Amino acid sequence: MSIKILAPTPSIRYSIEMIRDEARQLVENGVISRQQPIYVLCQHIPSREWVGVEYELERHDYLLRDRIGELVPCEVWQDD
């Protein structure tokens, strides 16, 4: 009898937009800076979900050593 071991699956499926929103909020709140590498996000995302985040980042050609600023581009505000 063989035992089948299943890899753990994250409880939340992070899309690239969810990751960008999370990073944007952390930058806006001063928790992280745009100059830090993307891997600092692992401190703010539950570890059980980090594998899914890494996968999504790789799918969109981001490396963990890339800067947060590449993930969250500067926002341009126009005066009303």
Phi-psi region of 30 (alpha: psi -120 to 50; beta: other; left: phi over 0): left
Contacts of 51 (CB under 8 A, 6+ apart): 8, 10
- Residue-wise pLDDT for 9-32, tens only, equals 545 788 999 999 999 999 999 999
Distance of CA 17 to the CA centre of its chain: 9
Residues in the chain: 80
| pLDDT score at 20 | 96
Given a cut of 70, whether residue 6 has pLDDT beyond it is no
Q: Above 80 in pLDDT, residue 79? A: no
- Residue 6, both tokens: 């299943």
Query: Please, are residues 27 and 34 in contact by the beta-carbon 8 Å criterion?
Result: yes
